Structure 1
Amino acid sequence: MNLSLFFILLGVSFFIAVPIGVVFAGISILPNLLSPSFPFTAEAALRSMVSGLDSFPILAIPLFMLSGVIMAGGKISEKIFNFFAYFVGDKTAGFPCAVVITCLFYGAISGSGPATTAAVGAMAIPFLTGMGYDIVFASSLVAISGGLGVIIPPSIPFIVYSSVANTSTSNLFIAGIIPGILIAFFLMLYAYIYCKKHGEDKAKLHENYLNIRAKGLGHLFLDSFWALLTPVIILGSIYGGIASPTEAAGISIFYALFVSMVIYKTIKVKDLLQILRDGVRTYSAILFIIATAVTFGRVLALLRVSTSVSAGILSVVSSKVGVLLFINFILLIAGMIADPLVSIMILTPVFLPVVNSVGIDLTHFGIIMVVNLAVGFVTPPMGMNLFVTSNLTGIPAMMLAKKIMPFIAFFVVAIILINAIPGLSLILIKK
């Protein structure tokens, strides 16, 4: 099958908004329909979909997502926010910075950008606007900070990348810690600059800070302790060799249930059925996309797309810096038009030969890929976090997209540093 026709049909399907899973499934069997000699039939595609999900690492995705749904039902984000607000609430941009840090920690619970945005935004946006902050600023802050949910471990995109690139999920989780903190720092830096420029309602801020402080550090610590312990348990069990990422995902579900039902008592037994339904609705569509994307990836391999693309890229740019600049540009564009998981499934096998040829570490490249795609959460037309915050506030997504540009600029500065300094990603990994 002609590769140009193949990608034209793919692009047209995306443009007219055909569901992604349907696109992958249909395009995968198209070469055989046009040329019966092509060795990938509809039956082979179906077997490939089933075998693609028959994977122990992939099992971590629905487990982590269910854990995140449970934690959201348990209203964990408010407890994390109050704890950090105790330390920074009286500083310039203190409460906005506390929101960023809350997203950072909640990301270590949910592993999902939209889930982090929804859980933290439902609490943080009304709080910030009540403090006198502009609602567009508050919404933009939550939307872009929600992207930390896929960078700080445990990250669902990291799991998908590791399965495609055949790298260690545990190493990717650990490698994401410093880049996630670095990006959070740059987002807080812009929040500080914004608040310095536009001012804050110091009277309201001081009143609310005193209300939080009146609870006492000991009470706040005990109230948030079990929530803050979640990432320690997940990452500690993985990095300590106690559990694999998939086993840690299973542990996180039982821990989330224990914390929400026994410690905080924010979830009742009668709520469990609805939580399970929400979990199934959340991850079933993603698993279908992954299954069809696996099939699509095998067709790309049979068509030798990666070889053609690799030769084409290296004929134009051959230096490591040039390759990184080109790939980062493509990833930023891909994040705007496709779900991060879809982009990872399509682009990873295409870029791996190029990355290997210039000596880029595969774990470092996984971090580069995910942080670039995370920008896509707040850039149209995809912009899932924009639509989540738009639903929470009623503000048009395009208005949020315009106001979020300064945040994106600071985010991109962090991405440049992550590209330029591999040690930021690799220093914590055991050799």
Structure 2
Amino acid sequence: MSIVLISLAVFFILLFLGVPIVVSIGVSCIMIWLQDPSIVTTPAYTFQAMTASLDSFVLVAVPLFILSGQIMAKGGIAAKLFNFFSYFIGKFRAGLPITVIVTCLFYGAISGSGPATAAAVGAMTIPVLTGMGYSLSFAAAIVAVAGGLGVIIPPSIPMIMYGSATGASVGDLFIAGVVPGILIALCMIIYSIFYCRKNPPDMKKLEDNYKELHSKSFGNLFFKSFLALLAPVIILGGIYSGIFTPTEAATISVVYALVISLFVYRTLKITELPMIIKESLGSIAPVLIIVGVSSVFGRALALLQVTDAISGFILTTFPGKVAVLLFINLLLLFIGCVMDTTPAILIFAPILWPICEAMGMSTIHFGIIMVCNLAIGFVTPPVGINLFVTSGITGVPVMKLSKHALPFILAFAVALLVITFVPAISLCLL
């Protein structure tokens, strides 16, 4: 156990010093080998194991969904979704903030990424909200937190990672994420209504904007929005009906994004595709490297029987299922604050899942709990990548932004508790 403690200590020290996560995990693997040469985590083995861990049909979906999200972002899909929902509820005090949340909900069903959702929706909606008299900090906070819905509503890249780490069905995880994502969105909507009653926007500007939107042809607006709304229906419908696998769905999403962006909306030019692919590779490469090195670290921990030791400690220390689940939620919230989603899932899912299995919990239910917890990490410092994304868009300092995001995070946490202790919310569609 001393080997594990020293290696984990090295890992977290390097992490807090700002060393890249890949290097931190790699050094920790080598530390295990240096302390016990019988645990094969030499540099040569680490490289071979990293390569082998990426030889997975399921993981092919990750780069494809990232590429699809980039194409959709450049194609201006978020704007079409926002205008469509604004047409119906844009005249109410909380109409536009609710529209932002619903747009993030639908855009997350296209991109599969929290930061991508926050960036695409935020760049377009924040200027609109501030122009209508909503506070800049409030607008940025709502986008940052609602962007987290991008990893809960399927398709979800973290769910693919969880399925790869635990063997759970990615298709079942996708389906199980629908109702929890809607519940979280509803909790955020309730707070938005309460906030806008206390801090109303400029109702004259709101009314003018609503009239301008209605002066346009609804048929034209519906046609443009319909194809964007159809994307998640095609992806989820195909998976749910068994027509194609999640990986095949990712391929279809890329083709669909290209067709509607290039030939229907014509918001994208063929000459822009090389740059989009280059930007996508910039996001894909770090994720896949982290997957590889995390799998090596996980194997080393398994050989050292860390999973059994931690399971025994938690189950004997915390009396009852409720106490264990509360502890795991708090642990995951802390992990989400200091670690990115992908390594957090790949390292801790194999450790924590056996504990929940011992209590009779479904692997799908625990996967939803884990992803929801880590989604909160998108808006909690020091990592809080959605905070940095929206801060970059608005210029609002991250700490000020996190303060305004706190009520939304609390709403998110309330939904998380319900999801944790009411398994039917995650499993009702399976």
TM-score > 0.5 by shorter chain: yes
Q: By how many angstroms is 1:59 displaced?
A: 0.8
> Which has the larger displacement, 169-178 or 42-51?
42-51
Cα drift, residue 3 of structure 1 = 2.2
For residues 162 and 395 of structure 2, the distance between their equivalents in structure 1, rounded to whole angstroms, comes to: 34
Q: Which residue of 2 aligns with 1:183?
A: 184
Partner Cα separation in structure 1 for residue 363 and residue 39 of structure 2: 31
Instruction: Specify the alignment match of 1:154 in structure 2.
Output: 155
Partners in 2 of 1:150 and 1:323 — Cα distance?
A: 25
Amino acid at match of 2:171: S
**Alpha-carbon displacement from aligned partner over 1:396-415 (angstroms, at most 9, x marks no partner):** 11110111111111111111
| Equivalence map 1:353-392=2 (5 Å) | 353-392=354-393
Secondary structure of the 1:133 match is coil
Q: 2 CA distance for matches of 1:36 and 1:188?
A: 55
**Residue 43 (structure 1) shift:** 2.2
- Structure 1 CA distance, aligned partners of 2:393 and 2:384? 15
Aligned to 1:101: 102
What's the CA shift for 1:217? 2.6
In structure 2, distance between residues paired with 1:177 and 1:229: 16
Q: Which residue of 2 aligns with 1:335?
A: 336
Pairs aligned (count): 429
CA distances 1:355-385 after superposition (whole Å, capped 9, x unpaired) = 1111111100000000011111111000000
Q: Is residue 89–residue 95 contact of structure 2 (8 Å, CA) maintained in 1?
A: yes
1: CA distance, partners of 2:166 / 2:36? 30
Q: Kindly provide the CA deviation profile for residues 314-358 of structure 1, in whole angstroms up to 9, marking residues without a partner as x.
A: 111142111110100001111111111111111111112211111
The residue number in structure 2 matching 1:193 is 194
Where 2:58 maps in the other structure, the secondary structure is coil
Deviation at 1:216, TM superposition (A): 3.3
1:293–1:342 contact (8 Å) kept in structure 2: yes
Matched, 1:315 2:294: no
Tell me the residue number matched to 2:213.
212
Q: Secondary structure at the match of 1:58?
A: helix
Contact 2:11 2:27 in 1 (8 A): no
Q: How does 1:62-141 map to 2 (within 5 A)?
A: 62-141=63-142
Q: CA deviation at 1:165?
A: 0.9
Structure 1 residue 17: deviation in Å? 1.0
Tell me whether 1:425 sits opposite 2:413 in the alignment: no
Q: Is the 8 A contact 1:129 1:138 kept in 2?
A: yes
Asked whether the equivalents of residues 69 and 279 of structure 1 are also in contact (C-alpha less than 8 Å), the reply is: yes
8 A Cα contact 2:298 2:346, kept in partner = yes
1:246 aligns with 2:247: yes
Deviations 1:35-65 (A, max 9, x none): 3233333222111100111100011000000
CA distance in 1, matches of 2:40, 2:109: 42
What CA distance in whole angstroms lies between the structure 1 residues aligned with 2:281 and 2:220? 36
Q: Which 5+ residue runs of structure 1 have no aligned equivalent?
A: none
In structure 2, distance between residues paired with 1:259 and 1:96:
27
Shift of residue 142, structure 1, vs aligned partner: 0.4
Q: Deviation string for 1:162-193 (max 9, x for gaps)?
A: 11110100000000000000101111111110
Which shows bigger deviation, 37-46 or 69-78? Answer: 37-46
Deviations 1:217-260 (A, max 9, x none): 32211111111110011111111111110011011101100010
2:32 is aligned with 1:31: yes
Whether 1:414 and 2:388 are equivalent positions in the alignment is no
Are residues 1:282 and 2:298 paired?
no
Is the 2:4–2:301 contact (alpha carbons within 8 Å) kept by the matching residues of 1? Answer: no
Identity %: 50
Deviates further, 102-111 or 311-320? 311-320
- The residue type paired with residue 64 of structure 1 is F
**Aligned-pair Cα RMSD in Å:** 1.0
Measured in 2, the distance between the counterparts of 1:109 and 1:31 equals 40
Contact 2:126–2:136 (Cα < 8 Å) also in 1: yes
CA contact (8 A) 2:41 2:296 kept: no
Is 1:22 the counterpart of 2:26? The answer is: no
Kept in 2, the 8 Å contact 1:79–1:227? The answer is: yes
TM-score (norm 2): 0.98
State the one-letter code of the partner of 1:119: A
**TM-score relative to the length of structure 1:** 0.98
Code of the aligned partner of 1:98: T
Deviation (angstroms), 1:11:
1.3
Offset of residue 25 of structure 1: 1.6
Paired amino acid for 2:17: I
CA distance in 2, matches of 1:41, 1:213: 65
Contact 1:107 1:113 in 2 (8 A): yes
Once residues 351 and 118 of structure 1 are traced to their aligned partners in structure 2, the CA distance between those partners, rounded to angstroms, is: 31
* Contact 1:319-1:358 within 8 A present in 2 as well: no
Report the Cα distance in structure 1 between the residues aligned to 2:156 and 2:38, rounded to whole angstroms.
40
